Structure 1
Amino acid sequence: MPVTQDIVETYRRPRQVVRRLYGMGPREDRGILWLMIACFLMFISRLPGLQRQAVQTGSDFQQDTIYAFFTLLMLLPLVFYLIAGILYAVTKLIRRNATGYGARIAVFWGWLAATPIALFYGLLVGLNGLEHPGTTLVGGIWLAVLLWFWISGLAEISKAD
């Protein structure tokens, strides 16, 4: 199934999608690809807000874009490996069947699957600013969906067979 269809399906049945992806066997390249695509999409979502900031404050858009690119595509993947490791340790305490690979798949896939909302949030930041109630609402929805995907995925990959 194409990744875009898997993303749409994740909004309906996140546990089944993660189970199917995990059942495809251990492939670290697939996980890092999902992580890097999600980080790139998050970079794209930051651009409208950076442009708004440049217009309002006179900051250097090009320099801000370079910093955002470096942060989101070089540093954030390392942070996500750390998050996956921490969540693996917590999940392992609760459920003995948890695996490090499964935790990475759940975290990286959840991050990628939540990016459509993050793209909309980034657009709202550029149009309305951070303080607008609609922007705050969409940001909260994005965070809730991300946590839902992570928790569902971690529960699914660590359940007893």
Structure 2
Amino acid sequence: MALVPRILQTWRAPGAAVRGMAGLSEPALLALLLGTMAVYFVAQWPAHARAAALDPSVPLQARLGGALLATLFMMPLIVMAVAAVAQLVARAFGLRLDGRASRLALVWALAAVAPVMLLQGLTTGFLGPGPAVAVVNLLAGGAFLVFWISGLRALSQQRQPA
């Protein structure tokens, strides 16, 4: 299944969507993570443009350079570390989960929330801080948690011996 239909499926049935991706290879998972981080980087542009217009002491190029470093170089490392910790926590709660499944659940949750992150960037860029941004942030955070936990549960159930 292509990426966009799978994202739409995740919004309807998150566990089934991530379970269908269980055969994804490790290089493909890394490519998905980097692609997702590229989308997150692009999503930040309107907010950085607004901030640079309001405070020209830090130019837009410097803001985007910092965002590029954080999003495309640091975030993949942080995501992998969080997935490792999540695997240990999942095992403490009795879920049978290996490292690859933990990484897949986290990366796919990030990828499935990418459209809302684009909306968040536009909302922040056009409206600035306020209730609209808070609502979009709440939607993004809530969806991410639901997708991640559903993915962890679905992949742990798939791996249980019969």
TM-score (norm 1): 0.95
Give 1:120 deviation, angstroms.
Answer: 0.1
Alignment partner, residue 125 of structure 2: 126
Alignment partner, residue 2 of structure 2: 2
Secondary structure class of the residue paired with 1:117: helix
Regions of 4+ moved over 4 Å: none
**Cα deviations by residue, 1:40-78 (Å, 9 ceiling, x for unpaired):** 111001000000001001121011111100110000000
Alignment partner, residue 156 of structure 1: 154
**Cα deviations by residue, 1:113-136 (Å, 9 ceiling, x for unpaired):** 100000000000000112x10111
Indicate yes or no: 2:13 matched with 1:13.
yes
Give 1:33 deviation, angstroms.
Answer: 1.2
Q: Which amino acid aligns with 2:62?
A: Q
Among residues 35, 48, 68, which one is paired with 2:33 in the alignment?
A: 35
Distance 1:89 1:47, change over 3 A: same
Q: Which amino acid aligns with 2:18?
A: V
Secondary structure class of the residue paired with 2:96: coil
Give 1:96 deviation, angstroms.
Answer: 4.8
Q: Which amino acid aligns with 1:81?
A: M
The answer to whether the 8 Å contact 2:33/2:76 transfers is: yes
- The residue correspondences of 1:62-77 to structure 2 (distance < 5 A) are 62-77=61-76
Backbone CA RMSD of aligned residues: 1.0
Equivalent residues, number: 158
What CA distance in whole angstroms lies between the structure 2 residues aligned with 1:13 and 1:150? 12
Alignment partner, residue 48 of structure 1: 46
